[in-house]
Amino acid sequence: MIRAFETHKIRRTKELSSCLWKFHTVTEEGDGQSISVAVPGCWETYPETVNYRGKGSYSREFEAGGNIRLEFKGVSHTATVRVDGQQVATHYNAYTPFDVVMKDMKPGTHGLEVEADNAFGPDSALHVPNDYQSYGGISRGVILEELGDIYISWMHFTPLWKGSWQGTVQINLCNLTDRPYIGTLKLSLDGKEFYACPVQLEGGETRVVETGELSFEQAKSWSPEEPVLCMLGAVICDAGGTPVDDLIDRIGFREVRVEGKDILLSGKKLFIKGFCRHEDHPQFGCALPFEAMQYDLMVAKDLGANSIRTSHYPNDELFLDLCDEQGILVWEENHARGLSEENMRNPHFEQQCEDCIREMITAHYNHPSIYIWGILNECASHTEYGKSCYTAQYDLIRKLDPYRPRSSASCQFKTDICFGLPEVVSYNIYPKWYHDTPVKEYLEDLYQWVQTDTEGKGKPFLITETGAGAIYGYRTPAKVKWSEEYQAEALKQQITAVFEQEGCSGIYIWQFCDVRVCDSWFSIRPRTMNNKGIVDEYRRPKLSYEVVKSLYKSKGNYRE
């Protein structure tokens, strides 16, 4: 399953995932034994490759002809794609989609091979040994599409509140022929056509068509309480009026704006009660199926949460679809965790971050649930070089999306120099876990420093991580660290302090569930897992579950 709804009625598409592919490892000693595996999937979930790091080859055949587009929603973490033995694409980063268009293919059966590589090394600036697992494999869906002469590669909708709902649409068209193309573009909302314009493209041209501001006076607003969604359809018709290509996406009418110390959702002051969540599951690795994603959201909702932070990378779009449907606000972030200035000076860092941001925003722009873009979790926001990287990335986001607020989860206690750049100031804090300063005192002190000594003064302030570790089932009257009792008490104090902190727009608990981490983290991570989940890796609740639930449920979605 790729998306929660149909994205084409005219374009011929076929899912190449949700079935078995052939898989074997690729090493200098030769190829491993070929086995049948489910795609999407991660090889850490196959019996023989639980701890394998390196290259793996996935293959299958497909039938098609003419202009073909293959889209990969995520291959972890470097992909080389071959069709009929010829290399047609390469891509770095597990967490963003990429595609390849091949023109004039002979009708018939073709061989598809995807070689995935999850090795660490100097070429990989973002996938580094980290406090989560970089799995290997085709971890998200694969789609085959047959295109005509022209196709719509993306469509972005921006809702604008001007006393009633207005909006603009941008549609990116690609002419695959070397001849001029003349046709018509038509847009519809929930099946009703509201816009049409002639389109004319030169041979080989790719062009963005913009509608200008349009009125949607009847539109209902999207909100966490009433997540109303509409189907936006774009159709290209040829000169004779025959529909030749289409793209359908789901949108919501809502506006996110920052005013003083508040993040406003359609004019209301948001209060975030959230969880940081890794895509991780003992049975599926990072390739969670639809049912497991939905189960996580059901648990998060039961806990009283209204938001998920996609720490520390863009998520599977199916998960975002589910958040749109269920009114869960999303902090979506680019891929980076805990990189030092030295890491950020890796010659590939800038380009790999830029690609990730560009692919994330292009693909996810329309999701009403995404209320903020995050970048560079806990990186070097305390150095001048680091600041230059933050500046470049924030600028890029602004070019790609002028509307959503931006932020970074900082851990630079009283040394961050980047708060002048984003609209929202965010901190990760771990009092009662990594140090013993009383939570309230620590938070007040930090907040006062932001307000008096930094360019973050007067901006909204979020706690993007707080939490404590607990090994599932470890209970002891001594209530020591790693016990469920300790975690429950620590969270109680942390959440209460954040709720009481003046000027604070909300909290994300680190983290939703326990996750597997890279082996090199074993010494500070019992079980080689990050054990700060409110539920364990099997989603079994720890003692903190009821504590978090009663606190989260005691507060609404908005600040008074």
Measure Cα distances from 228 to 1, 323, 324, 466, 468 in Å: 22, 12, 9, 32, 36
- Tokens (6 digits) for 190: 């929930």
| Local structure of 160: helix, strand or coil | strand
Give the Cα separation of 192 and 374 in Å (integer): 35
Answer left, alpha or beta for residue 377, where phi above 0 means left and psi between -120 and 50 means alpha.
beta
DSSP structural state of residue 285: B
Residue pair 324/227 in contact by the 8 Å Cβ criterion: yes
CB of 151 to ligand ADA, least distance (A): 39
- Tokens (6 digits) for 429: 């804090």
- Tokens (6 digits) for 73: 């929603």
146 by Cβ neighbours in 10 Å (0-12 / 13-18 / 19+) ranks as middle
Q: Which H helix or E strand runs over 546?
A: helix 544-553
Torsion angles phi and psi, residue 200, rounded to 5: -140, 120
DSSP structural state of residue 316: P
Amino acid at 68: I
Q: Taking CB positions, which residue lies at the least distance from ligand ADA?
A: 131
Q: Could you give the angle at the alpha carbon of 353 between the alpha carbons of 348 and 354, nearest 5°?
A: 105
User: Which spans of this chain sit near ligand ADA (rule: CB under 6 A)?
Assistant: 131, 337, 377-378, 411, 428, 465, 510, 530, 532
| Local structure of 494: helix, strand or coil | helix
The closest alpha carbon to 23, from 4, 1, 42, 3, belongs to 42
- Judged by beta carbon, residue 57 or residue 130, the one nearer ligand ADA is 130
Give the Cα separation of 142 and 327 in Å (integer): 27
- Judged by beta carbon, residue 70 or residue 356, the one nearer ligand ADA is 356
Residue pair 540/472 in contact by the 8 Å Cβ criterion: yes
Measure Cα distances from 284 to 18, 42, 46, 321, 424 in Å: 13, 7, 10, 20, 34
CB of 556 to ligand ADA, least distance (A): 27
Give the Cα separation of 203 and 127 in Å (integer): 39
| DSSP character string of 453-468 | HSTTTTS-EEEEE---
Measure Cα distances from 244 to 180, 182, 237, 357, 385 in Å: 16, 12, 5, 31, 49
Q: Please state, as a whole number, how many other Cβ atoms lie within 10 Å of the Cβ of residue 545.
A: 19
